[in-house]
């Protein structure tokens, strides 16, 4: 995070605030760190190796002195659903110069996002924005009691190149990929 955080002269949307040193306290002592864990939410739908990795991570955190605090995650389904129109519209805007003129160069997943984004109305985008703001407030409330939240980033192990080439062709591909990340985007 130290390497990528902060101002970027090539990105006018980058945060211009000073970047704290995120590494200064990495001495192995996590006493006082409050780790939020909603076991049911963090384990839902993940494969066995990912579950084992989550449990191993939890053990390391406890051994280093962190305190595990049981939390109840707000419902992430609405935030996940709201992510779709927002992301799709933003992707369509970003690729407007090259799509559809170079559509043959796009895979099915990105094509689907762009096409959905082109069909997203301003009203749909505004409604999704409202859902995002509500979820943001719920997460702010959750973080008043914890410092970090423990959860996987993905339901399973990394995709193979073969699976990646067909990504987006199954109805639940995006939901499965984004379940633990998109609500926070």
pLDDT of residue 157: 76
For residue range 123-146, list pLDDT tens digits in order.
Answer: 999 999 999 999 999 999 999 999
Query: Structure tokens of 138?
Result: 């719920």
Give residue 152's pLDDT. Answer: 94
Of 48-62, 65-79, 81-95, 154-168, where does mean pLDDT reach its minimum?
154-168
Q: What is the pLDDT of residues 12-44, one digit of tens each?
A: 888 888 888 877 777 889 999 999 999 999 999
Q: Is the pLDDT of residue 109 over 90?
A: no
What are the distances in angstroms from CA 126 to CA 38, 83, 91, 181?
30, 12, 16, 21
- State residue 45 phi and psi, 5-degree precision: 80, 0
pLDDT of 74 > 90? The answer is yes
| Residue 61, pLDDT above cutoff 80 | yes
Q: What is the pLDDT of residue 98?
A: 95
Residues 6+ apart with CB under 8 A from 118: 92
Q: What pLDDT score was predicted for residue 63?
A: 95
Render 67-106 in DSSP notation, one character per residue: EEEE--PPP-HHHHHHHHHHHHHHHHHHTTTTTTTTGGGS
pLDDT of 156 reads: 80
Q: What is the pLDDT of residue 60?
A: 95
């Amino acid at each position: 995070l130290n390497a990528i955080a902060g101002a970027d002269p090539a990105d006018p949307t980058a945060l211009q605030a000073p970047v704290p040193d995120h590494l200064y306290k990495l001495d192995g002592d996590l006493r006082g760190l409050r780790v939020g864990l909603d076991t049911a939410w963090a384990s839902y739908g993940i494969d066995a190796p990912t579950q084992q990795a989550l449990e191993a991570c939890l053990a390391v955190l406890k051994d280093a002195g962190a305190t595990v605090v049981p939390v109840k995650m707000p419902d992430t389904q609405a935030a996940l659903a709201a992510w779709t129109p927002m992301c799709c519209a933003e992707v369509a805007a970003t690729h407007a110069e090259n799509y559809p003129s170079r559509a043959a160069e796009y895979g099915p997943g990105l094509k689907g996002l762009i096409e959905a984004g082109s069909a997203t109305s301003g009203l749909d985008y505004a409604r999704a924005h409202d859902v995002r703001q509500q979820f943001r407030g719920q997460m702010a409330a959750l973080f008043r009691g914890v410092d970090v939240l423990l959860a996987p980033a993905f339901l399973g192990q990394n995709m193979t190149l073969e699976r990646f080439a067909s990504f987006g062709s199954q109805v639940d591909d995006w939901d499965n990929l984004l379940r633990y990340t998109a609500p926070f985007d």
